[in-house]
């Protein structure tokens, strides 16, 4: 360092005689390596790699959103250079392999476990709020279940346990995949009454049989067979073995699926090159039992033609698409299965694309929805598209709250400008209605949209859903969703980012509604307030508490007299002792508020009792009216 703090460099190369030659060699080498790589990659680039699954989706999203001004175009150029770099391909493959082989080293996208088991990082580490994400996904599925049942479709959800949970023992020390989340997802579905298949229990029991590939992200044929049988049993379509026209047996051994190696940086697409043959040899010792089903030639390849629709259809991701899982279901159910799964597919969008198809010869009677838990745990609700709720509008509804109780940003019938930024159209003051936030309550918007399609976001404070509203629709019924019971409802608009024209919304009516049939409601008998230690209890009985439908709800209209904190806990007990009590905490409800609780989890079982419990000083009375309301077949 010189006195002025600047780096001190002699003007000439000094010292030994070869110093000048060394300098020339080093400079030439530096320029050759940098400029040479650029030249080779520019003049002889590799073809763009074939992207699969989520990579493909991400790539599409990136290209859709690309702009010059915000630098995304530059990122795309960088990415393309990287993916098409011949030099990179040449040098990084051996380097990657050496790191993996010698040091168990991998990129951040892959976790290397014991015995070189590989796990995708994104499927190992949940988010800090994964508990909420799981519950929110379950709430969306519960709302979807209600809407599908309106169309006569039975939904069965099959959550696939994570490899990192079943084979947790292979994970490196210190990595916690939070296995409770996989169980939680099942519990959250069950508590909302969504018909779901517990694959966690059989998978844990059969873990020794290699249910997931060591170097692959997917399940083995053995796991597919176990899952298919469990799904068919749960859905009530399992036929006895004697009636099955096909035969399932182990036909030998087959090589492992090595799809995680791509994330590691090893491309095994080209078996001709010496390097890739060497890589394959290294992984060749890993084989699994190969299962095959004979005589039913259906289900393996996705059938997307509307004419091909069968009674049973399956929607899902790469765990279903191009695998044997649908064929195994067909085997256990004894009938063909219509397979509409896509690698990395957004299940909501897949469902939407099928159900909106007017040329569909018939609707499926049973939809099996395969959801990998890694999606429920990490990405959560974004995977179930809002468009579905626009498409599956309830055929009938009953009003709970009229428009005069809403705070409106603009007066009714006046045009409301929609912008790229989220703008609030209306909100229901907190505490007016408390509900399960799983589609039992919806916001009904009547009005006119002009200038193009707008996005309507309904936010419950514990979650949200965004649905499109197009100019040809005069009414939209959007479920209010969240991961916990909510007393808040806010409605926002947002124009799509690519939209340049002026978008307006003229609201003619706004209500909070439910798809339940109030005319057949069963009224409850409200007892007087009693005390139990520090708590007060108000018991409600029913003369005939047997819901006819599995889609039932409990409605409590409050008119609290005396001291009332606004926080209560509702406990619903079924006379069916095998069912757990339904306990729902409600916070910040008004004295004259309404509570609507989903009884779907009871699946039509009779109610033994309903108790409203609170703390602090006892009020004189709380509930004014209580009744069980049901969703019956409106067509009868």
Positions touching another protein (CB under 8 A) are 1, 4-14, 18, 20, 22-24, 26-27, 29-31, 33-35, 37-38, 41-42, 68-71, 74, 77-78, 81-82, 85, 87-88, 91-92, 95-96, 99, 103-105, 107-109, 112, 172-175, 265, 421
CA–CA distance, 183 with 188 (Å, rounded to integer): 9
Pairing of strands 154-160, 366-372: parallel
Give the Cα separation of 379 and 132 in Å (integer): 11
Rounded Cα distance between 200 and 252, Å, is: 26
Task: Using the minimum distance from each CB to another protein, give the nearer residue, 114 or 525.
Answer: 114
Cβ–Cβ under 8 Å, residues 632 and 520: yes
DSSP string for 276-311? HHHHHHHHTT-EEEEEEEES---SSS----GGG--S
Cα of first residue to Cα of last residue in the chain, in angstroms, is 92
* Bridge partners of residue 417, in order along the sequence: 504
Q: Shortest approach of another protein to residue 99 CB, angstroms?
A: 7
- Going along 394-502, which residue ranges are E strands? 398-401, 407-408, 415-418, 423-428, 433-435, 438-450, 454-459, 464-469, 475-481, 489-495
Choose between 187 and 464: whose C-beta lies nearer to another protein. Answer: 464
State the residue for tokens 């040899």: 281
Smallest CA-to-CA distance from 594 within 557, 626, 553, 554 is with 557
Minimum CB distance to another protein smaller for 19 or for 583: 19
- Cα of 431 vs its chain's centroid, Å: 29
Report in angstroms how near the CB of residue 73 gets to another protein at its nearest: 9
Reduced 3-state DSSP string for 356-424: CCCCCCCCCCEEEEEEEHHHHHHCHHHHCCCHHHHHCCCCCCEEEECHHHCEECCCCCCEEEECCCCEE
Smallest distance, another protein to C-beta of residue 423, A: 11
Distance of alpha carbon 72 from alpha carbon 79, whole angstroms: 10
The first and second tokens of residue 411, run together, are: 């007066």
């Amino acid at each position: 360092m010189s006195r002025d703090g600047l780096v001190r460099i002699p003007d000439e190369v000094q010292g030994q005689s070869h110093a000048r030659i060394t300098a020339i060699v080093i400079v030439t080498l530096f320029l050759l390596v940098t400029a040479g790589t650029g030249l080779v990659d520019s003049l002889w680039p590799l073809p763009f790699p074939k992207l699969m699954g989520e990579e493909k989706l991400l790539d599409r999203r990136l290209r859709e959103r690309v702009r010059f001004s915000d630098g995304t175009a530059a990122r795309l150029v960088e990415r393309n250079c990287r993916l098409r770099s011949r030099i990179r391909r040449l040098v990084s493959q051996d380097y990657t392999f050496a790191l993996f082989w010698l040091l168990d080293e991998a990129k951040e996208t892959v976790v290397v476990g014991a015995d070189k088991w590989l796990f995708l990082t994104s499927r190992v580490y949940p988010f800090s709020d994964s508990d909420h994400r799981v519950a929110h996904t379950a709430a969306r599925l519960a709302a979807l279940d209600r809407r599908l049942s309106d169309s006569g479709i039975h939904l069965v959800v099959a959550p696939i346990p994570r490899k990192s949970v079943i084979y947790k023992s292979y994970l490196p020390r210190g990595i916690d995949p939070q296995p409770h989340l996989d169980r939680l997802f099942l519990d959250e579905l069950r508590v909302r009454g969504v018909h779901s298949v517990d694959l966690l229990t059989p998978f844990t029991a059969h873990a020794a049989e290699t249910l997931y590939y060591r170097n692959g992200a997917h399940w083995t044929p053995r796991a597919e067979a176990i899952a298919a049988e469990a799904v068919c049993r749960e859905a009530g379509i399992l036929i006895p073995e004697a009636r099955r026209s096909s035969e399932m047996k182990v036909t030998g051994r087959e090589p492992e699926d090595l799809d995680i190696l791509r994330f590691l940086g090893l491309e095994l697409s080209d078996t001709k090159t010496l390097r890739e043959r060497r890589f394959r040899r290294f992984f060749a010792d890993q084989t699994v039992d190969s299962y095959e089903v004979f005589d039913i030639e259906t289900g393996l390849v996705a059938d997307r033609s509307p004419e091909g629709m069968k009674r049973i259809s399956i929607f899902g991701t790469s765990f279903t698409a191009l695998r044997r899982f649908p064929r195994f279901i067909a085997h256990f159910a004894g009938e063909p299965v219509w397979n509409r799964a896509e690698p990395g597919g957004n299940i909501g969008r897949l469902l939407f694309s099928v159900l909106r198809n007017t040329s569909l010869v018939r609707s499926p009677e049973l939809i099996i929805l395969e959801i990998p838990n890694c999606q429920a745990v990490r990405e959560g609700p974004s995977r179930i598209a809002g468009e579905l709720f626009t498409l599956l509008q309830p055929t009938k509804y009953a009003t709970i709250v009229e428009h005069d109780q809403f705070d409106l940003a603009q007066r009714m019938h006046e045009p409301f400008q929609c912008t790229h930024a989220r703008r609030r159209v209306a909100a229901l003051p907190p505490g007016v209605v408390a509900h399960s936030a799983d589609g039992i309550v919806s916001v009904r918007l009547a009005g006119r949209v002009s200038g193009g399609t707008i996005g309507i976001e309904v936010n419950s404070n514990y979650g949200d859903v965004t649905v499109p509203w197009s100019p040809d629709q005069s009414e939209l019924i959007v479920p209010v969703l969240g991961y916990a019971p909510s007393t808040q409802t806010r409605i926002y608009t947002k124009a799509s980012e690519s939209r340049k024209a002026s978008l307006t919304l003229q609201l003619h009516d706004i209500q909070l509604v439910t798809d339940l049939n109030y005319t057949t409601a069963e009224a409850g008998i409200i007892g007087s307030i009693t005390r139990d230690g520090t708590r007060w209890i108000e018991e409600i009985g029913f003369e005939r508490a047997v819901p006819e439908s599995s889609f039932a709800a409990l409605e409590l209209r409050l008119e609290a007299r005396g001291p009332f904190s606004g926080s209560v806990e509702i406990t619903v007990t079924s006379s069916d002792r095998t069912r757990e009590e339904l306990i729902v905490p409600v916070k910040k409800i008004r004295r004259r508020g309404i509570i609507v609780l989903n009884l779907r989890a009871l699946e039509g079982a009779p109610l033994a009792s309903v108790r409203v419990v609170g703390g602090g000083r006892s009020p004189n009375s709380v509930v004014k009216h209580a009744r069980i309301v049901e969703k019956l077949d409106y067509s009868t």
